[in-house]
Amino acid sequence: MHQKPDADAMGSALALFHFLVQFGHTVTIISPTNWADWLNWLPGATNVIDYERNREKATNALKDIEWLFCLDFNTLERTKNLAPIFAGLSCTKILIDHHQQPDTASFDYGISDTKKSSTCEMIYDLIIASSYQEKINKEVSECIYAGVIADTGSFRFSSTHASVHRLVADLKDRGLEHIAVHEALYDNFLENRLRFIGNVLLNRLEVYYEYNTAIITIPKSDLLKYYIKTGDTEGLVNYPLSIKGIKLAALVIDRDEERKWSFRSKSGFDCNTFARKYFEGGGHFNAAGGRDAASLNETVKKFIIAMKENEALLS
Ligand code: 5GP
Ligand code: MN
């Protein structure tokens, strides 16, 4: 899965895990980095190896590996420090992903389908196609559902095709308790995160109405003041899109190692192209991310220039 895995990355890996172990396979899940605490609710998440914290265990697991499933990322670089290790493995590498422009040369087999709502939906499709659908137990269901709601914005993004609703209907028929998943993912934060969001919306949001764009800039001091942890900033970038007329929402966070960008759009603005062109990133049409080694002030200046260059697409 990609670094700083989200509910789709973690959910798809765990869903595949809970499917494969029923056949007696030895399955290990490795994340390149840590993840949000609230993802630990997913069945099996606490057994996932964080490569940055436990390199030895991860390296041992990779020694006798036969198959490497690469889930929810399109290029090996998205696995951060694991990228050169994965590149050097001689095992069979299988990609299952829905991001744009996959680096297919890095994988032996796989499915890349940018029309799919989530990698979790693709794991569901794989299980159905395998004709072992009776193996969709409580664990598999919950993991798939978590990724689907996360990546579809709870069934509102354009990728929410009829197939997504059919998938959910099937999981419900199999006994899925969806309320528990929603509560675990969305009603499981500490008070400080809510106060942090209040401060962000009041003091860190800049709206450029002439470009239908809004930008949120988060300095390191805010992260420290509000004890912000991995995952606490997820979803923040969506808030400005609720302002009438806004087509592009951008969020930049001053992380230790880099300035991390998130982009979300409406009305036909292509975030993937924008993130690739200006911020070494990528993703999907309406949701992408990127990075910059420059300072927070400098990268925001770059963004404003980029926004102006894109005036015709934003107006
Ligand atoms: P987020 O803004 O939630 O971090 O990411 C939005 C989407 O863009 C996700 O699908 C994520 O995988 C992708 N993404 C985020 N950052 C990067 C990046 O630096 N490079 C690429 N290629 N994709 C990214
Ligand atoms: Mn995904």
CA of 251 to the centre of ligand 1 (A): 12
Q: What angle do CA 303, 304, 307 make, to 5 degrees?
A: 85
117-146: average pLDDT? 98
- Percent of the chain's residues with pLDDT above 70: 100
**pLDDT over 90, % of the chain:** 97
**Cα-based angle 112, 31, 238 (whole degrees, multiple of 5):** 65
pTM, to two decimals? 0.92
| Ligand closest to CA 278 | 1
Alpha carbon of 78 to ligand 1 centroid (Å): 9
- Residue 299's DSSP bridge partners are none
Q: Is the pLDDT of residue 193 over 90?
A: yes
Q: What is the mean pLDDT of residues 136-147?
A: 98
DSSP string for residues in 155-218: TTSTT--HHHHHHHHHHHHTT--HHHHHHHHHS---HHHHHHHHHHHHHSEEEEGGGTEEEEEE
Residue 222 has pLDDT above 90, yes or no: yes
pLDDT in tens, 153-175: 999 889 999 999 999 999 999 99
User: Ligand 1 centroid vs 56 CA: distance in angstroms?
Assistant: 28
44 lines ligand 1 (CB under 6 A): no
Q: Is residue 262 lining ligand 1, measured as CB closer than 6 Å?
A: yes
Which residue from 32, 121, 147 is spatially nearest to 79, judged by alpha carbons? 32
Domains along the chain?
Answer: 7-186 (3.90.1640.10), 192-314 (3.10.310.30)
284 lines ligand 1 (CB under 6 A): yes
Judged by its nearest atom, the ligand closest to the C-alpha of residue 159 is 2
The atom of ligand 1 lying closest to the CA of 75 is: 22
* Ligand 2 centroid distance, CA of 46 (Å): 20
252 in ligand 1 pocket by Cβ < 6 Å?
no
Task: Provide the pLDDT for residue 267.
Answer: 79
Q: Report whether residue 288 contacts ligand 1, using a CB cutoff of 6 Å.
A: yes
Sequence-separated contacts (24+) of 263-271 with Cβ below 8 Å = 263/237, 263/287, 263/288, 263/289, 263/290, 264/237, 264/238, 265/241, 266/241, 268/313, 269/310, 269/313, 269/314, 270/313
For the stretch 26-47, pLDDT in tens is 999 999 999 999 999 999 999 9
Per the prediction, the chain carries an average pLDDT of 97
Q: Which atom of ligand 1 is nearest to the CA of 251?
A: 2
